Amino acid sequence: MKTLLPLTLIGLFSASAQAAELDITITNATGGIAFTPLAVATHQAGINIYQIGAKASGGLTALAEGGNTAGVISEINQSGYGYAKQYNPEGGLTLPGQGYQFSIDTMDYEYLSLAAMLLPSNDGFVGLNSWKIPTKAGSYTIKLNGYDAGTELNDEIVNGGGAPGVAGIPAAPTGMQQTGAEMYPYLSETGYVHIHPGIVGDTDSQGGYSDLDSRVHRFLNPVANITITVKQDAVMAWDGEQVEYQVDEQVTYMDVVYKVVHAHTSSPTWTPSNVWFFEAIE
């Protein structure tokens, strides 16, 4: 069991790493596609919500097919090298032309990722993958693409589906839905994450090949703009003694025992009662 030094000794050492606060605004740039609630994560290098050309995880499959963020959030948090949570705009959806603003603490992690389902689509999502958080305060604007998880045929049939492995689209907040369409023939899927080919749709409200309206739901990339404001300069990482803390390891500070809930390396002068990586157990 490690023993941490009192906070009063911090002044004897160089500055430790400091978490930055981010103000984030994501704006829906499409004409007829909504975004479901966001899964947002800060994390270490090598942790991903998705990777282009790679098979989607179970969590990403659930998010892209049905808007369920729970799996992605669990995958990040259980890795021990990141922190994720859901951010949910009022009403649940970010509609075309709308923006959604929220703030996060980086938890001292260096990378930012996020994803939300494109609705209506079979397994489309908007995403930001492992964006390196700048150490300099300021505002940064990025254009985000729409991706296909590669897990479901793009049949464009609105039938209330949305669970992984269940064909169909949960709902179409804008435009036609459940028109009795027969589905386009000869559909195939890649099996890996790739740029979304877009919505085909049709204009037949009584059937046709798609329940989606080609006049409303078609889109091109980018599908979103995101502005990230870093509210303070990040303090340079501690360059003195480093201590590695492993998940479930116990440390003591001022006669209180803490459990490490996220693996990390930091100065031995950190105060666990003020650091999210530790959880008091006694």
> Are residues 248 and 217 both part of a single domain?
no
Q: Which one of 135-139, 170-174, 240-244, 269-273 scores highest in mean pLDDT?
A: 135-139
> Are residues 210 and 124 both part of a single domain?
yes
User: Mean pLDDT over residues 87-97, rounded?
Assistant: 93
pLDDT(189) > 90:
no
90 CB-near residues (< 8 Å, 6+ apart)? none
**Structural domain harbouring 255:** 2-15+237-280
194-228: pLDDT as tens digits: 999 999 888 777 767 788 989 999 999 999 999 99
What gap in Å lies between CA 40 and CA 56, rounded to an integer? 17
CATH number, domain at 115? 2.60.40.2130
Q: Which residue has the higher pLDDT, 183 or 231?
A: 231
139-166: pLDDT as tens digits: 999 999 999 999 998 888 888 777 777 7
> Are residues 130 and 244 both part of a single domain?
no
Q: How many domains are contained in the chain?
A: 2
> Are residues 67 and 178 both part of a single domain?
yes
Q: What pLDDT does 236 receive? A: 42
> Are residues 160 and 258 both part of a single domain?
no
Nearest to 43 by CA among 24, 13, 19: 19
> Are residues 180 and 164 both part of a single domain?
yes
> Are residues 66 and 181 both part of a single domain?
yes
Domain end call among 197, 213, 230: 230
Domain end call among 230, 248, 268: 230
Local confidence band at 38 (pLDDT 50, 70, 90 cut-offs): very high
Average pLDDT, the chain: 83
Q: What pLDDT does 168 receive? A: 73
> Are residues 182 and 275 both part of a single domain?
no
Q: What pLDDT does 241 receive? A: 61
Q: What pLDDT does 272 receive? A: 54
> Are residues 60 and 36 both part of a single domain?
yes
Q: Which residue has the higher pLDDT, 110 or 233?
A: 110
Q: What pLDDT does 119 receive? A: 96
Q: Is 56 helix (H, G, I), strand (E, B) or coil?
A: coil
User: Mean pLDDT over residues 246-270, rounded?
Assistant: 74
User: Mean pLDDT over residues 129-148, rounded?
Assistant: 96
> Are residues 226 and 257 both part of a single domain?
no
Q: Would you call the peptide bond into 120 cis, given omega within 30 degrees of 0 as the criterion?
A: yes
Domain end call among 215, 230, 245: 230
User: Mean pLDDT over residues 250-255, rounded?
Assistant: 74
Q: What pLDDT does 279 receive? A: 72
> Are residues 160 and 256 both part of a single domain?
no
Asked if residues 118 and 152 have their Cβ atoms less than 8 Å apart, the reply is no
Nearest to 143 by CA among 81, 70, 220: 220
What gap in Å lies between CA 113 and CA 153, rounded to an integer? 26
> Are residues 137 and 80 both part of a single domain?
yes
Q: What pLDDT does 250 receive? A: 84
